[in-house]
Structure 1
């Protein structure tokens, strides 16, 4: 059963399966992609304990090999509800028999949604409940509904004047990069931008990016706590994903050891990790 939080301006609906945001709407507009499986059957999955794809879908830890598919397992698990008010909710996922087969670390992952005025904030909290340091990555994958002509939309970054995307090959990071055709930080959207899959910004100097239609901004994603950004859609799909990340896919020359993985976070025993991003609606 989906859970709803609301305030006087916005309503958010979240599915405890994956603690996934399914809807964010005002009285007149839905901002989250509907999840039509013809294009992509998800809305806003959480990426944990990896972001992107592992080489051969495998990693090693202490000489043992583990299998894990793209973006990890959190999005496929049922979360419990720890706290719920009219305008906020906290979901929790803890390690269990099934997760330990894929990921031999004891953890708690909490996801908090809070509505304040015209902004939805998503806060991620990871606790290492084991003895050893815990390697992980975490990220968001919200898909925003873009009805009408896709070419009418653009992205404007807070500070970046030049955007460099690392190319994907067979879902892994290559050593090739491309410069994106921006105009003072504005990136006009077209499906041609995504002919080689997602845009991967391994570094960005901006703290936020705005989505505009015909130069009229209507939504802002602020991602101060996330150093990497993915941007993705599918051919002819009426949505765009803006994905704040801590971590990204393996590269072709990855040695498979998760402790050596580029972009990985190491969380000491009993320590907590916190990061968040927000979605602000302009109209």
Structure 2
């Protein structure tokens, strides 16, 4: 099932499975900004990553001396959410723990994903409530994929990513899907990043982020662009498939990150993990601006 929300000049489609953004269009230009999940390249649009971001070492973690298995990015993206509110220009979805989730993640939780259209874009709200009577550990993140090119007469390499502010950020390289902290460097995000498929030959580009950040996918040959803006996310991932040359790029705001190559495996010691007190609620949001 899908939920449609719209304003005078924007329209979004949201899937109940994964509470996933499946479409975002400008009505005046008839441009689709969200990747349409062609399985020949990548079968998703914009999955929600919870309760982990990225991969665990050996797909395993330990909590209170018990071992659990979780696949990359967690289970929320593959579960059906409940629609708890729907208005003309907004909708909210809820996921609660089940007997099945408790087998791989031993916490009681309530995850609410909210979408609202306004101005030139879409705001995505995350709310995580700990309904366990003890501290809860989690990560959460977005994974929206944007069509590149946005227009048929352009090509992938006609586009750039403009970071804002234009300053250097710590780059965290991946090794076999895990963060290699020993090889972290100062990433050159103080200038535009020209898009080409070779950028992703070593997997995603991952940067540490603090404060207000924006990343814009644009071309000098077009007036149309898409911008991801966020404030309270610790990391951003930039990804496309390789060696398959796919016509999309993901801009991914994350609160949390993949395991490091030197991880102990203990969930409470995981780099980037969030700790939430009993009955407490975590909030964050990001926005997608389309022009």
TM more than 0.5: yes
Secondary structure class of the residue paired with 1:75: helix
Shift of residue 219 of structure 1? 1.4
Tell me whether 1:22 sits opposite 2:22 in the alignment.
yes
Match of 1:31 in 2: 33
Deviates more, 1:204-213 or 1:128-137: 204-213
Maintained 8 Å contact 1:160/1:206: no
Kept in 2: contact 1:221–1:278 (CA 8 A): yes
The answer on whether the counterparts of 2:210 and 2:233 sit within 8 Å (CA) in structure 1 is no
Q: 1:142 aligns to what? A: 144
Deviation, structure 1 residue 166: 1.4
2:166 matched to 1:166? no
**Alignment partner for residue 195 of structure 1, among 174, 179, 201?**
201
Equivalent of 2:121 in 94, 119, 122: 119
Residue 266 (structure 2) aligns with: 257
The alignment's TM-score, normalised by the length of structure 1, stands at 0.96
Task: State the shift of 1:206 in Å.
Answer: 5.0
Structure-2 residue corresponding to 1:238:
247
- Partners of 2:211 and 2:231 within 8 A in 1: no
Q: Distance in 2 between matches of 1:78 and 1:229?
A: 26
Q: Which residue of 2 aligns with 1:10?
A: 10
Aligned pair in 2 of structure 1 residues 154, 204: CA closer, same or farther (>3 Å)?
Answer: farther
Gaps of 5+ in 1: none
The question of whether the paired residues in 1 share the 8 Å contact of 2:224 and 2:290 is answered with no
Equivalent in the alignment of 1:278: 287
1:224-248 residue CA offsets vs partner (Å, 9 max, x unmatched): 1212100000131000000000010
Corresponding residue for 2:66? 64
Select which of 208, 222, 231 maps to 2:229: 222
- Secondary structure of the structure 2 residue equivalent to 1:101: helix
Q: Residues 113 and 153 of structure 1: is their aligned pair in 2 closer, same or farther, counting only changes over 3 Å?
A: same
Note the aligned Cα RMSD (angstroms). 1.4
Q: How many residues align?
A: 281
**Structure 2-normalised TM-score?**
0.93
Secondary structure in structure 1 of the residue aligned to 2:173: strand
Say if 1:221 and 1:280, in contact at 8 Å, map to a contact too. Answer: yes
- CA deviations over 1:210-261 (Å, ceiling 9, x no partner): 1111275611110112121000001310000000000100011100000000
Q: CA deviation at 1:180?
A: 4.5
